[in-house]
Amino acid sequence: MPGSADNPVVLDPFRTIIEVGWNSVTHLAFYVEVGRDFENNSFADRPPIPADPPDIPPGDWGTTWITNVYNGGTLTESVLYIGSGGPHAPHIYRSSSGWQSAGAVPIDGGLPPFTDSVTYGALDHLWNPFFGPLFEDLWKMTPGGSGAGLTVPGEPDITFDSNTSPHAFINHNAIYTGAPYWGEGPGSSFDFGAYTAAQETAIIDLPYPAGDIVARYSGRAFRGCSTAFHDPGSGPKRLWILCERSPDDD
């Protein structure tokens, strides 16, 4: 092609274009927002406080003996797009000038459908901080993908180094070991709860098919090739999706 190393374009005796495509767009990136939702579907009536409830040792109260907040009803946890989900903050990458804002970026067929929910009994499992820290990132990332060493637009310390199947993940780390009952704790306090034991349970473990996403810029196709996780510190966690030029999808 004209302007290649094999077929240079001579402008004058002193200037030759070796590559006229030096400023071509090689990648496109944007983020999606997914959140978790929690709903108490039903309540069970608590029995009256007995005249002489059992004593709960101070070391157990609030550590292994935990209040049954939802009265034994059923709960639903969900993961779903927040609003439209995205694509948010689309950027294009040029080898000559780096990331630049791209404006609106159409997605072939829209973003992948993404919603999942699980309903369970309140006594089935719970999160008890006594058994470990809460997994709050929502996204579980796996190294991989073909990120070409690129970083998230505006975040030079976050590299696209994860594969195209990140998982939206919600888990619990404890179970109740018996039915709840009224107990008396420190300072003559009363509460309705039960003992718990450590046990991890994956509530939702949903892969996100970032590799199926085809975005378009100036009519050209870009397919998902890598992902990155970004916690902005406030608001929803962000899943950044890197797309590389894909002539086969044009």
Query: Does any domain span residue 12?
Result: no
Query: Does any domain span residue 186?
Result: yes
Residue 247, SS3? helix
The 3 state secondary structure assigned to 164-212 is CCCEEEEEEEEEECCCCEEEEEHHHEEEEEEEEEEEEEEEEEEECCHHH
Query: Does any domain span residue 167?
Result: yes
pLDDT, mean over the chain: 89
Q: How many whole angstroms from its chain centre is CA 71? A: 30
Distance (Å, rounded) from C-alpha 207 to C-alpha 181? 39
- Provide the pLDDT for residue 181: 93
Distance (Å, rounded) from C-alpha 133 to C-alpha 33? 23
Residue 5, SS3? coil
Query: Does any domain span residue 205?
Result: yes
- Could you read off the pLDDT of 96-138 as tens digits, one per residue? 899 999 989 999 999 999 899 999 888 888 999 999 998 999 9
Query: Does any domain span residue 8?
Result: no
For residue 165, the enclosing domain spans 24-249
Which token pair is 239? 């899943």
Distance (Å, rounded) from C-alpha 68 to C-alpha 179? 9
pTM exceeding the 0.75 threshold for the entire prediction: yes
DSSP string covering 121-146, please? Answer: ETTT-B--GGGS------EEP-B-S-
pLDDT band, residue 77 (cuts 50/70/90):
very high
Query: Does any domain span residue 44?
Result: yes
Query: Does any domain span residue 18?
Result: no
Better pLDDT: 42 or 152: 152
DSSP string covering 79-120, please? Answer: EEESTT---EEEEEEETTTEEEE-----BTTSSPP-EEEEEE
Q: Are 54 and 94 in contact (CB under 8 A)?
A: no
- For the chain, the domain total comes to 1
Q: For 236-243, what is the mean pLDDT?
A: 97
Q: Cα-flanking dihedrals φ and ψ of residue 178, to 5°?
A: -170, 175
- Could you read off the pLDDT of 194-235 as tens digits, one per residue? 999 999 999 999 999 999 999 999 999 999 999 999 999 988
Q: Cα-flanking dihedrals φ and ψ of residue 191, to 5°?
A: -155, 165
Q: How many CA atoms lie within 13 A of 92 on its CB side?
A: 19
Query: Does any domain span residue 7?
Result: no
The residue type at 206: L
% of the chain with per-residue pLDDT over 70: 89
